Amino acid sequence: MEHRVRESWQERFAGTPDVLMSAGRRHTVVQVLDVAVGGDEFITMAGPCSVETESQLMATAHHVRRGGARILRGGAFKPRSSPYAFQGLGLQGLKLLARAREESGLAIVTEVMSECDVPMVAEYADILQIGSRSMENYSLLETAARSGRPILLKRGMVATIADLLRSAQVILDNGNPDVILCERGIRTFETAMRNSFDAAGIALLKQITHLPVIADPSHAAGHRELVPALARIGVAAGADGLLVEVHPNPDKSWSDGEQSLDFAEFDAMMAALGPWIELRSRELGEREAAGVRPMEVAG
Q: Which residues bind Mn ion (CB under 5 A)?
A: 49, 256
Among the candidate windows 60-68, 125-133, 137-145, 167-175, which touches ligand PEP by CB under 6 A? 125-133
Closest-CB residue for ligand PEP? 131
* For ligand PEP, the closer CB: 20 or 43: 43
Q: Which stretch binds ligand PEP (CB under 6 A): 9-17, 126-134, 207-215, 222-230?
A: 126-134
219 interacts with ligand PEP by CB under 6 A: yes
Which residue lies nearer to Mn ion by CB, 110 or 209?
A: 110
Which of 91, 192, 204, 108 lies closest to 152 in space, CA to CA? 108
- State the nearest-atom distance from the C-beta of 130 to ligand PEP, in Å: 8
> Does residue 194 touch ligand PEP according to CB under 6 A?
no
Question: CA torsion sign, 186 to 293 to 286 to 29?
Answer: negative
What's the full length of the chain, in residues? 299
Task: Choose among ligand PEP, Mn ion, none what residue 131 binds, the Cβ cut-off being 5 to 8 Å by kind.
Answer: ligand PEP
The minimum distance between CB 156 and ligand PEP, in angstroms, equals: 8
| Stretch of residues binding ligand PEP (CB under 6 A), selected from 36-44, 95-103, 127-135, 246-254 | 127-135
79 forms part of the interface with ligand PEP (CB under 6 A): yes
Amino acid letter at 263? F
User: Minimum distance from CB of 247 to Mn ion (Å)?
Assistant: 10
Binding flag, residue 132, ligand PEP (CB under 6 A) = yes
Indicate the residue among 154 and 280 with the shorter CB distance to Mn ion: 154
Nearest distance in Å: CB 164, ligand PEP = 12
Could you list the residues that contact ligand PEP (CB under 6 A)?
Answer: 49, 75, 79, 131-133, 154, 184, 219
